[in-house]
């Protein structure tokens, strides 16, 4: 995210990317200006906050300038150029989410008054130019010289900005921001995420999985903000029912719902599912923390591009920046993975791509998971995900990287530790403390642990096998597990795989 600026375009970020058949970064008339700054600022600044990652402030400023440029047109909405040398003229409601993400992130993490003013002004512009009943005042937009780019309905367009508005409201407490969020929520529940919790392609009017999953996670964020149990119950119903039309057992999600003869997915869909699971888990539905951990270990983390040795940079006699050092500039990206590797069997996606928006969205979701590993619970500490982790109040050593699960508190208090559902209490050996735990809602609960005391939990990481949805994949995909991590997976001879193949 800090290496995708086009030196041939005033250091504004690229959107489109391919590594095969040709390695290149390029401009998009739909998304470069209006989309990428928000995805990357949200991901970068959240990573700085959550994981204390040092950022290149020049890169942050480049994204900031690109975001401010996108809002510098005749109306306070995120706009895009049709060509690199052209004016800002394209408006697509699909990009409202990303525009608000850019401005919210700058306002929250950089105390950016200019971004804050633009954010509140953009809320007013939306409320002036759009209503749930009428849609957009396209005539007024055209009178301003703006070309309106239509979306595949409400879920593919306006509804996507809901989660960004929730974050903006947490930052500003602006009543008009909450008013707009409530309008979006009401329409989403009335017309799409109904009480039945089903997926109906005719009703949703789009097969773009990411739009469906990001609105789902946005509704969960709003429920969390407002402590609205009824709203979260509606989200949970869709998660348990309709979502299975666009996810499998390890959280892989297709780029398009109902796609045929391909196993390619989209990583930021999986990130939305992960974020929703974390919120449901935090609200006491412990089994969703297990879903989140399996998603992280079995799919999302393995799907990062960490080896680029298989591709070479293209010839570049004219020194075009979109062809410069393309391979290394992709290192660390997320894209369109199959469950078993970067490339799908069947017809696949017809190229190997890691579009730059997916990187920012996925990193943002990983930050939410990072913050959820250990969470304070009143006077105590809750260990929700079994990863190595350390905070100012506790330290966790994972059973996947050590010989047991070990938790050390840096200050005294209660401790609760989530127990995976494939494990029984009788299979857990406890050491390092004299406190006998109780069992409650999927947790071992220790009433009091002294500062510096290391609670050690010894248990087997059991071997098991699952099969990923035959309905969603070209073929059923067998997966062997050790605990919640993959030890082997069918790959049907695909290239660039993540795991050892099964016989």
Q: Mean of the pLDDT values across residues 246-255?
A: 98
Length of the chain: 503
Q: What pLDDT score does 39 carry?
A: 97
Check residue 116 and give its pLDDT: 98
pLDDT in tens, 22-65: 999 999 998 899 999 999 999 999 999 999 999 999 999 999 99
488 in any annotated domain = no
Burial level of 429, CB count in 10 A (0-12/13-18/19+)? Answer: exposed
pLDDT of residue 5: 97
The domain in which residue 416 lies consists of 375-458
Whether residue 163 lies inside any domain: the answer is yes
Q: What is the pLDDT of residues 268-325, one digit of tens each?
A: 999 999 999 999 999 999 999 999 999 999 999 999 999 999 999 999 999 999 999 9
Of the listed ranges 145-149, 343-347, 354-358, the one predicted with least confidence: 354-358
Please indicate, yes or no, if residue 368 is contained in any of the structural domains. Answer: no
Give the residue with greater pLDDT, 503 vs 278: 278
pTM above 0.95, yes or no: yes
3-state secondary structure of 45: helix
Q: Over pLDDT 90: what percentage of the chain? A: 98
Strands (E), 88-184: 88-91, 130-131, 135-136, 147-148
C-beta separation of 351 from 11 below 8 A: no
Q: How many separate domains does the chain show?
A: 2
Residue 477 neighbours by CB under 8 Å, 6+ apart = 248, 263, 339, 340, 467, 468, 489, 490
Question: What does the pLDDT read at residue 73?
Answer: 96
Q: What is the CATH number of the domain that holds 166?
A: 1.50.10.20
Last residue of a domain, one of 165, 191, 217: 191
* Domain boundary pick from 191, 222, 256: 191
| 389 is a domain residue | yes
Is residue 59 assigned to a domain? yes
pLDDT in tens, 203-224: 999 999 999 999 999 999 999 9
Average per-residue pLDDT in the chain? Answer: 97
Please report which confidence band the pLDDT of residue 74 belongs to, taking 50, 70 and 90 as the band edges.
very high
* Residue 282 within any structural domain of the chain: no
CATH of residue 450's domain is 2.60.420
Q: Is residue 256 part of a domain?
A: no
- How far apart CA 131 and CA 133 sit, in angstroms, is 5
Per-residue pLDDT, 408: 97
Please say if the pLDDT value at position 378 is more than 90: no
Question: Which residue, 124, 159, 191, sits at the end of a domain?
Answer: 191
**pLDDT exceeds cutoff 90 at 472:** yes
What is the per-residue DSSP string for 390-446?
E-SSEEEE-TTTSSSEEEEESS-EEEEEE--TT--GGG-EEES--PPPEEETTEEEE
pLDDT number for residue 275:
98
Residue 470 lies in a domain: no
Strands (E), 103-219: 130-131, 135-136, 147-148
Contacts of residue 201, defined as CB under 8 A and 6 or more positions apart, other chains included, come to 207, 257, 258
- Whether the predicted pLDDT of 470 surpasses 90: no
Q: Stretch 228-252: mean pLDDT, rounded?
A: 98
pLDDT, residue 473, reads: 97
- Give the pLDDT confidence score for residue 379 in this predicted structure: 87
CB 257 within 8 A of CB 472: no
User: For residue 305, what pLDDT is reported?
Assistant: 97
């Amino acid at each position: 995210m800090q290496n995708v600026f086009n030196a041939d375009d005033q250091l504004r970020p690229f959107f489109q990317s391919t590594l095969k058949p040709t390695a290149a970064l390029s401009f998009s008339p739909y998304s470069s200006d209006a989309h990428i700054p928000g995805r990357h600022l949200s991901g970068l600044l959240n990573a700085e906050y959550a994981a204390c990652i040092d950022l290149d402030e020049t890169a942050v400023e480049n994204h900031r300038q690109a975001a401010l440029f996108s809002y510098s047109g005749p109306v306070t909405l995120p706009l895009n150029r049709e060509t690199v040398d052209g004016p800002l003229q394209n408006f697509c409601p699909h990009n409202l989410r990303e525009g608000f993400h850019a401005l919210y992130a700058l306002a929250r993490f950089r105390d950016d008054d200019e971004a804050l003013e633009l954010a509140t002004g953009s809320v007013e512009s939306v409320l002036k130019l759009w209503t749930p009943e009428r849609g957009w005042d396209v005539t007024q937009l055209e009178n301003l010289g703006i070309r309106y780019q239509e979306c595949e309905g409400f879920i593919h367009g306006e509804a996507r900005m809901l989660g960004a508005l929730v974050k903006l409201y947490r930052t500003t407490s602006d009543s008009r921001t909450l008013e707009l969020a409530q309008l979006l929520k009401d329409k989403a529940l009335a017309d799409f995420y109904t009480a039945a919790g089903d997926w109906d392609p005719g009703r949703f009017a789009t097969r773009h999985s990411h739009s469906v999953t990001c609105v789902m996670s946005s509704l969960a964020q709003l429920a969390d903000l407002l402590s609205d149990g009824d709203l979260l119950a509606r989200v949970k119903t869709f998660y348990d029912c309709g979502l299975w039309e666009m996810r499998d057992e390890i959280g892989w999600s297709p780029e398009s719902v109902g796609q045929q003869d391909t196993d390619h997915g989209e990583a930021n869909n999986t990130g939305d599912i992960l974020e929703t699971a974390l919120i449901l888990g935090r609200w006491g539905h412990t089994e969703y923390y297990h879903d989140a951990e399996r998603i992280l270990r079995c799919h999302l983390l393995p799907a990062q591009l960490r080896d680029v040795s298989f591709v070479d940079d293209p010839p570049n006699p004219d020194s075009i920046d979109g062809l410069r050092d393309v391979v290394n500039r992709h290192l660390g990206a997320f894209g369109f993975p199959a469950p078993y590797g970067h490339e799908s069997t069947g017809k696949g996606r017809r190229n190997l791509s890691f579009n730059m928006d997916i990187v920012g969205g996925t990193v943002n979701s990983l930050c939410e998971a990072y913050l959820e590993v250990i969470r304070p619970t009143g006077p105590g500490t809750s260990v929700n995900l079994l990863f190595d982790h350390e905070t100012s109040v506790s330290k966790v050593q994972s059973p996947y990287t050590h010989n047991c699960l070990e938790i050390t508190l840096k200050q005294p208090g209660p401790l609760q530790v989530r127990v995976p559902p494939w494990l029984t209490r009788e299979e857990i050996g406890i050491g390092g403390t004299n406190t006998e735990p109780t069992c409650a809602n999927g947790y071992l609960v220790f009433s009091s642990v002294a500062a510096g005391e290391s609670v050690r939990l010894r248990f087997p990481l059991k071997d098991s096998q699952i099969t990923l949805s035959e309905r969603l994949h070209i073929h059923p995909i067998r997966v062997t597990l050790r605990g919640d991590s993959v030890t082997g997976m069918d790959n049907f001879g695909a290239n660039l795989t993540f795991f050892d193949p099964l016989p």
